[in-house]
Amino acid sequence: MNPADTQPSHPPLHHNWLYRRVALPIFALLRMGASPKKLAWSIAVGLLIGINPVLGSTTIFCLAAAFLLRLNVAASQLANHLVYPFELLFLIPFIRLGDIIFHTAPMPFTARSLIHAARTNPLGLTRQLWQWEKHAFLLWLGLAVVLIPIIAIAITPLLSRLVTRIDHHQYPIIRPPHLSLERADS
C-alpha cells in the first residue's frame, strides 16, 4: 500500500481576493508582533485619511500620520488604499455639505459653467475652488477626529481575538505542511 493513499485527500486552499489582499497581510502583521491596539489605530487612521477630499494627498497624509503617531505604516497604507473608491464617492458630498455649513455659493458641477467661469474670471474661479476644497477638508477633519477613535476602539477587540486564534494556528497563512507534501508526492 502506498503511504500517499492513506492520507486524507484535502482540497487545495483557495481564498478570495479580499482574504488574500486584506486579511492575510493583517494576519501577517499580527504574527510578526504588531500589537492589536496599534494596528487598530493604524487601520482607523488609514481608513479615514483614505477618504479625505483632497485628491492625490492620501498616501502622503497617511505616511506622515503613521510616522508622527508611530503607527504601523503598512496597515495604514493598506486601509488607505482599500477605501480609495470611497474618496471619489464622498468628494462631491463633502463639497456640497461644506457649501451648506460654511454658507458659500454652491460649486457648479456642469462643464459649461466651469468653462465659462474659467474664461471670464480664472483667478476668481481658482480662489473659489480652493475655498470649496478648504471647506470640504475642514468638514472631513471634524469627521475624522470623531470617527478615528471610534473605529480604533471598535476593532481592537477583534484584532485581540485574532491574535489568540493565530497563536493557536486557527488561521493558516501558508498552505498546511500536509498539503504541500501531497503536491510533492503526486
Give 111-139 pLDDT, tens digit per residue: 888 888 889 999 988 898 899 999 999 99
44 within a domain of the structure (yes/no)? yes
144 φ, ψ (degrees, to nearest 5):
-65, -40
Q: What percentage of the chain exceeds 90 in pLDDT?
A: 53
**What per-residue confidence (pLDDT) applies to 6?**
53
**What per-residue confidence (pLDDT) applies to 15?**
65
- Residue 39: which residues within 8 A CB-CB, separation 6 or more? 26, 29, 30, 72, 75, 159
6 within a domain of the structure (yes/no)? no
Q: 161 pLDDT band (50/70/90 cuts)? A: confident
Hey, what long-range contacts does 69-74 have (CB within 8 A, 24 or more apart)? 69/41, 69/45, 70/38, 71/38, 71/41, 71/42, 71/45, 72/29, 72/34, 72/38, 72/39, 72/42, 73/42, 74/25, 74/29
**What per-residue confidence (pLDDT) applies to 93?**
93
The whole-number average pLDDT for the span 2-19 is 58
- Residue 119: which residues within 8 A CB-CB, separation 6 or more? none
pTM (predicted TM-score): 0.76
As given in the structure block, the three cell numbers for residue 174 are 501558508
Rounded Cα distance, 71 and 167, in Å: 23
Rounded Cα distance, 64 and 42, in Å: 12
Distances (CA, A) of 165 to 101, 158, 161, 169: 46, 11, 6, 6
167 pLDDT more than 60: yes
Q: How many structural domains compose the chain?
A: 1
1 within a domain of the structure (yes/no)? no
Structural domain harbouring 118? 16-185
Least confident window among 22-26, 94-98, 100-104, 150-154:
22-26
10 within a domain of the structure (yes/no)? no
Q: 27 pLDDT band (50/70/90 cuts)? A: confident
